Amino acid sequence: MTDIAALQSEILADIQGAGDEPALEAVRLAALGKKGSVSALLATLGTLSPEDRKTAGPLFNGLKDAVAQAIGARKAQLADAALDARLAAETVDVSLPSAPLNSGTVHPISQVLEEITAIFADLGFAVAEGPDVEFDDYNFTKLNIPPDHPARQMQDTFYVAPQPGDQGAAHVLRTHTSPVQVRAMLAAGKPPIRVISPGRTYRVDSDATHSPMFHQVEALVVDEGIHLGHLKWTVEEFCKAFFEIDRIELRARPSFFPFTEPSLEWDMRCDRSVRGQIKFGTGNDWLELGGSGMVHRKVLENCGFDSTRYTGFAFGFGLDRMAMLKYGIPDIRSFFESDLRWLKHYGFAALDIPTLDGGLSR
């Protein structure tokens, strides 16, 4: 008869010797599998005499249980060892400094846009918007700019090639934010209107103080009894708030725009006698802010307003110019070159994001 004890110690040695799960599985099959040594032994029970079976049965089954138990224990051991090895291999050194976080900054134009919107919000103005690709009709015709007006000539305006779905309507890249006046009036249907509209504008032009894409902020107020005094007060309050000074001096020059009558251009007294510096409120120099005027009767009528009852004022100032002046930026084109060094220098910190090592990312 097979030496059960010898077989058991042989199998248990194999189990202990199995270095990983596949090896252990091979040992299991060799013992307990269909053709395994233990299974073969158990199969012989049927051939034994009842007498022998009585003693052999518990022995054989004891062997089977001992092997199964040893395999289970070894399996758990191997899994523990595998986990330990993984933990040892994948440790994280939490004392290492973290990789620097590169946070963005607010572009000066965005910053100025936010400042202006906040100032006008305090004065009760809402924000109105219009598209960059604008109807020729809103950019020009409804603003009383007749088809033969010089502002329509090719050197000023980017014309947009006809697109399917235009239904014959000509489009341009808006040359100013004034078409938003038309949109605001058509949308409101009736006064009172008090809106500003900051946004991108386009003209065929490029040098140190002109960029083919630039920004304007338009203001429009329409109601009963609106007069030039309201325009002057609004421009004054806005400039004081934007340039953060209490005492400013404004100068209004007569001007011409087809969509305002009378039309005025505003200058602000400044001192540029020291190179690279500008001071507001004193000095013998004047800084151009932009155009304005009382909304032309025809424009009100083109937008369905009763021009015998309502009047309004509007102005359109150059946003980039104001940003250049307030933050001392010499070349308008640098705003739009996406030079990261420039943006880091002139951009405004967006958020202070704490890094893991306790520093602040910039």
Contact residues toward ligand PHE (CB under 6 A) are 176, 178, 218, 257, 260, 290-293, 314-316
Residue 202 or 346 having the CB closest to ligand PHE: 202
Residue 316 contacts by C-beta under 8 Å, 6 or more apart in sequence?
Answer: 176, 177, 178, 216, 217, 218, 219, 290, 291, 292
Cα–Cα distance measured from residue 104 to residue 310, given in angstroms and rounded to the nearest whole number = 46
Note whether 270 and 285 are within 8 A (CB): yes
Residue 103 or 307 having the CB closest to ligand PHE: 307
* Residue 269 Ramachandran class (φ > 0 left, ψ -120 to 50 alpha, else beta): beta
Residue 211 or 260 having the CB closest to ligand PHE: 260
- Min CB(195)–ligand PHE separation in Å: 12
- Min CB(202)–ligand PHE separation in Å: 11
Residue among 283, 249, 246 nearest 266 (CA):
249
Residue 84 or 205 having the CB closest to ligand PHE: 205
Residue 60 or 257 having the CB closest to ligand PHE: 257
- Min CB(319)–ligand PHE separation in Å: 11
Query: Is 350 in a helix, a strand, or coil?
Result: coil
- Min CB(258)–ligand PHE separation in Å: 9
Note whether 129 and 117 are within 8 A (CB): no
Sign of CA dihedral 259, 303, 300, 290: negative
Residue 144 or 292 having the CB closest to ligand PHE: 292
Residue among 256, 251, 257, 255 nearest 236 (CA):
251
- Min CB(352)–ligand PHE separation in Å: 38
Residue 221 contacts by C-beta under 8 Å, 6 or more apart in sequence?
Answer: 192, 193, 194, 230, 234, 312, 313, 314
- Min CB(257)–ligand PHE separation in Å: 4
